[in-house]
């Protein structure tokens, strides 16, 4: 059995193991402040090993690799580059974008964070309240969710520990949240174009170290995450981590040499001509046909379960996980997760698309995975906007059997971190991303949104009333739907980003949740919807069937009515379930009997 990668302490000896098949020499670099001690490592097959006869727990370290510098051949060895251990579980600082990261021969030790030899981790509860299908997932940007929270102490704002604050937990319980889904919390780096614009990445979808918690979000490291997970579990709330295994922040060929690129560039997918494949739109793509990439992924997942107690994972651009290079529904990663005794019963959620050829794979992930269903979002928005068919929206409410077959695996949502917020989807007909510095060209161009007659803020009572009614109708549609549902933090009380539908670079009040200015009436309405759904547990894996679909006059719906875009009302009555929906009245009502 291959020994574990990373740094580990056993019997008073600290062992470092890293993979770098094509390196000609490798050095372990130990740091004491700015002082660096370089120790040669010994080749062990495709790995390099150093054994130090001391307990180095808490020691800052990194690697340097020597070999050929031939980027066109996929060889990026430069001993001037301090390299972060791909298996690092803690760092002494955040990644900072800098031109020197991509300059050959320029020492980067002053600007690259060091990994930390981990301290022993306590065992965590291995029987957490696993999230159940059909419950509510609450998507949270940890920093943006807590930065402006009036009850959270200033020192905790913007951190994972803030999620354990009693006021935060009370809000989650009011919404009957089954699990929080935390947007990326591992260490990431800004995209190259952001610092010159005075901007920074606020979302975290640009990781470098897959297991190391970002020191800005989690200054207390693994213990902070463990304690927060335990506090949420104590209230019956699960924790799902949104992880990015589709690319790394080393970006395209103009990007920096920070970790994998300088150790084992074969971790990235390459075309036959040697160029980087960019199925992610982020400059590079991790190669899941490579067993080492799969092992790194599985080891990271196991780490977060065993060391931190999390309940599951959402995979960004998850189609990448099954590429080799084309998508395969029977890709090795799925079988490896299913066979793993630690991971097999964890929650697995796919964002079932990427930017590459054949990248849209909604419905094609394993039967025990959940999948984000953007067709629910789009068909619901189009219906309430007035140009979507009733047949489409009913299919989405009923669990999208056209996509998932007999047992639904859908995660229904109205809005997510990317795209318009729910409030903005009824207040803006077009994106307004000028603050991102890209000429308003970034972000989705089609949002199936509308503004009620005025673009953006309005003081017209009629327009405001229509927007409120539209938002409530969509929220009721979500909570009435079969399947798992997802709500993005703040949409329950009208959070706005002033029409910015790609606020990844806005780490400021534009994207921070405005707790003081929230719509309390809308918040109470959503709490009532959540309480009703929570009380009616018999919902979420079975499609409505063996019932009657009736029109506004109480007559059986005809094929022509289903296909007529003007049809706006339908009623369903069947065993254990009833639904009424009216576009004219902006109403959705449902009832479920166990």
Long-range contacts of 441-447 (CB under 8 A, 24+ apart): 442/502, 443/418, 443/419, 443/500, 443/501, 443/502, 444/418, 444/419, 444/501, 444/502, 447/381, 447/419, 447/420, 447/501
| HSE, side-chain direction, 13 A CA sphere, residue 215 | 13
Under a CB-based contact definition with an 8 Å cutoff, are residues 56 and 114 in contact? no
Kindly provide the residue ranges of all beta strands, DSSP E only, lying in 71-132, ordered along the sequence: 75-76, 115-116
Under a CB-based contact definition with an 8 Å cutoff, are residues 347 and 240 in contact? yes
Q: Minimal CA–CA distance to 433: which of 495, 502, 511, 513?
A: 502
Which residue's structure tokens are 């470098």?
208
Residue 555, both tokens: 């007559």
Residue 351 annotated to the active site:
yes
Could you give the dihedral angle defined by the CA atoms of residues 452, 457, 461 and 462, in that order, rounded to the nearest 10 degrees? 0
Under a CB-based contact definition with an 8 Å cutoff, are residues 95 and 297 in contact? no
Q: Minimal CA–CA distance to 210: which of 239, 249, 174?
A: 249
Residue 316 annotated to the active site:
yes
- Cβ neighbours of residue 133 closer than 8 Å, sequence gap 6 or more: 370, 409, 483, 484, 540, 541
Alpha carbon 521 to its chain's center = 29
Helix (H, G, I), strand (E, B) or coil at 384: helix
Instruction: Measure Cα distances from 423 to 19, 129, 172 in Å.
Output: 48, 32, 20
Under a CB-based contact definition with an 8 Å cutoff, are residues 97 and 254 in contact? no
Which is catalytic among the residues 36, 191, 242, 351?
351
Identify any residues that bridge with 268 across adjacent strands, giving them in sequence order: 286
Interatomic CA distance for residues 162 and 146, integer angstroms? 7
Q: How far apart are the first and last CA of the chain?
A: 50
Residues in the chain, overall count: 594
Residue 271, both tokens: 């075309």
Which residue's structure tokens are 């719906």?
557
Buried b (16+ CB within 10 A) or exposed e, 415-443: bbbebbbbbbbbbbbebbbebbeeebebb
Burial of 315 (C-beta count, 10 Å sphere; 0-12/13-18/19+) = buried
Which is catalytic among the residues 135, 279, 311, 316?
316
Under a CB-based contact definition with an 8 Å cutoff, are residues 185 and 217 in contact? yes
Catalytic positions are 316, 351
């Amino acid at each position: 059995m291959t020994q574990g990668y990373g740094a580990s302490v056993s019997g008073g000896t600290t062992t470092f193991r890293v993979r770098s098949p094509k390196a000609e020499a490798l050095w372990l670099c130990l740091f004491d402040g700015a002082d660096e001690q370089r120790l040669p490592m010994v080749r062990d097959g495709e790995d390099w090993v150093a054994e130090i006869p001391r307990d180095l727990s808490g020691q800052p370290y990194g690697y340097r690799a020597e070999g050929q510098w031939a980027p066109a051949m996929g060889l990026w060895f430069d001993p001037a580059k301090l390299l972060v251990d791909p298996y690092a579980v803690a760092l002494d600082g955040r990644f900072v974008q800098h031109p020197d990261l991509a300059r050959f021969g320029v020492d980067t030790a002053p600007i690259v964070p060091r990994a930390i030899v981990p301290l022993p981790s306590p065992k965590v509860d291995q029987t957490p309240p696993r999230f159940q299908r059909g419950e509510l997932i609450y998507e949270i940007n940890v920093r943006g969710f807590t930065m402006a929270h009036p009850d959270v102490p200033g020192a905790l704002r913007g951190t994972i520990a803030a999620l354990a604050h009693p006021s935060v937990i009370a809000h989650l319980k009011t919404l009957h949240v089954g699990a929080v889904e935390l947007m990326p919390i591992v260490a990431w780096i800004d995209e190259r174009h952001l610092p010159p614009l005075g901007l920074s990445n606020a979302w975290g979808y640009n990781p470098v170290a897959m297991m190391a918690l970002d020191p800005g979000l989690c200054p207390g490291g693994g213990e902070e995450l463990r304690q927060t997970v335990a506090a949420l579990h104590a209230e019956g709330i699960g924790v799902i981590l949104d992880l990015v295994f589709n690319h790394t922040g080393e970006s395209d060929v103009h990007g920096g040499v920070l970790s994998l690129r300088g150790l084992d560039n074969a971790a990235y997918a390459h075309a036959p001509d040697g160029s980087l494949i960019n199925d992610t739109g982020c400059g590079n793509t991790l190669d899941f046909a490579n067993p080492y990439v799969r092992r790194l992924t599985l080891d990271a997942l196991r780490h977060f379960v065993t060391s931190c107690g999390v309940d599951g994972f959402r995979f960004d651009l998850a189609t990448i996980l099954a590429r080799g290079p084309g998508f395969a529904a029977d890709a090795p990663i799925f079988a490896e997760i299913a066979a793993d005794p630690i991971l097999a019963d964890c929650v697995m959620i796919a964002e079932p698309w990427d930017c590459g050829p054949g990248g849209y794979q909604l419905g094609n992930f394993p039967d025990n995975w959940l999948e984000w269903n953007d067709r629910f979002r789009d068909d619901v928005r189009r219906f309430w906007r007035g140009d979507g068919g009733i047949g489409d929206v009913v299919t989405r409410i009923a669990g999208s059997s056209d996509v998932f077959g007999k047992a639904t695996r859908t995660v229904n949502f109205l809005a997510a971190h990317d795209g318009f917020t729910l409030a903005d989807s009824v207040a803006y007909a077009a994106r307004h991303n000028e603050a991102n510095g890209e000429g308003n060209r970034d972000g989705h161009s089609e949002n199936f949104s509308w503004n009620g007659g005025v673009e953006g803020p309005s003081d017209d009572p009629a327009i405001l009333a229509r927007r409120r009614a539209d938002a409530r109708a969509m929220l009721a549609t979500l909570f009435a739907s079969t399947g798992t549902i997802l709500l993005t933090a703040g949409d329950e009380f009208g959070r706005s980003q002033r029409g910015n539908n790609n606020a990844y670079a806005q780490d400021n009040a534009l994207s921070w949740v405005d707790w003081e200015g929230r719509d309390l009436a809308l918040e109470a309405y959503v709490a009532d919807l959540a309480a009703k759904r929570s009380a009616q547990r018999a919902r979420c894996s079975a499609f409505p069937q063996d019932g009657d679909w009736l029109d506004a006059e109480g007559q059986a719906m005809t094929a022509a009515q289903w296909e007529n875009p003007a049809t706006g009302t339908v009623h369903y009555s069947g065993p254990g379930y009833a639904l009424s929906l009216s576009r004219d009245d902006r109403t959705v009502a449902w009832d479920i009997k166990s």
